[in-house]
Amino acid sequence: MKCKVCKGAAVVQVPRHNANFCPLHYKEHIHYQVERVIKSYRMFSKKDRILLGVSGGKDSMVLWNVLRELGYSVQTVHINVRQGDYFEKSEAVVRKFAEETGADLKVYRFRDIFGFEFESALKFSRKPVCSLCGTLKRHAFNRLAKGLNCDVCATAHNLDDETALLLGNVLHWQMGYLRRQSPVLEAETGMVKKVKPAVRITDREMKDYADLFSIGYVDEKCPYSRGATTHFYKDILNRLEDQYPGTKTYFYFKFIKDLKPSLKEASEDTGDVNHCVRCGCKTLQDGKCFVCALADRIKMSAAGQEAVDP
């Protein structure tokens, strides 16, 4: 097996690019794929400050390293969501990498940001645990990006995440979600620009990069994760990809390029878009957004509890 570029010994196979690479050229290949997405979707430039949420999983750790080595100005943020081994391990991995590379990292406990524990949020919200965690983190990154003077908020969603999401949205014809699925969401009133620079890289390629260049990451899944459907979709797409390399790229990018613009034109979105009277973020609710309303419910219940308890 020879490297496509230098004909030296290859260590990684990338069938969908019909190529094998040596470590050096594999790195170049991945960096090129990220740079290509950043440029073609005008995500950010070297002048911008990028807020990157890092969980400690392979995707965010690899993207962190890639952006760092490409010379972008990255402010990384880690939110330790709740108590438990997995969360402590994740924080340790993130801190270690920041120390080794001298990177700018800010670590927050969930309570520091919201003023209540994740357990309370879970008790007072009807959302499933993963979706609640995701919603709260997105809200937090938006708020932190503004506070930390960042121009754009990046997440490490990869090609497998995005194609699985697209497949789910297509199978259920989730038109609202389809209209919003994109590598870039431009800034709006109260909302920082959001980007996904890793959408051209697969799960497998992320893992190969992390292993090859000794990027530490937490390998296990979050103990609360119940993404069974997503795993099932990913599995189906992997089987398709094995038979027909390039399927995922075609499925996702053809949608983004050719289908999505027409969805936008036809869009008469359901419901009015409002802005939260407290935090200013975009919301479909009247008055306060989901997160601010949740915070109020938790506060009121705690106050009631105190009044009842002797």
Answer yes or no: are the C-beta atoms of 82 and 110 closer than 8 Å: yes
Our CB check for Zn ion shows the closer of 206 and 289 to be 289
Q: What's the min distance (Å) between Cβ of 279 and Zn ion?
A: 3
Q: What's the min distance (Å) between Cβ of 201 and Zn ion?
A: 18
Residue with structure tokens 């309370």?
A: 120
**φ and ψ at residue 7, rounded to 5 degrees:** 65, 10
Q: What's the min distance (Å) between Cβ of 209 and Zn ion?
A: 15
Our CB check for Zn ion shows the closer of 23 and 216 to be 23
Q: What's the min distance (Å) between Cβ of 296 and Zn ion?
A: 10
DSSP secondary structure code for residue 18 in this structure: T
Closest CA to 230 of 161, 137, 131: 161
Burial of 18 (0-12, 13-18, 19+ CB in 10 A): exposed
**φ and ψ at residue 67, rounded to 5 degrees:** -65, -40
Radius of gyration of the chain from Cα atoms?
A: 21
Q: What's the min distance (Å) between Cβ of 243 and Zn ion?
A: 28
Our CB check for Zn ion shows the closer of 7 and 257 to be 7
Our CB check for Zn ion shows the closer of 237 and 294 to be 294
Q: Which residues bind Zn ion (CB under 5 A)?
A: 3, 5-6, 8, 22, 25, 276, 278-279, 289, 292
Our CB check for Zn ion shows the closer of 38 and 289 to be 289
CA distance 279 to 102: 33
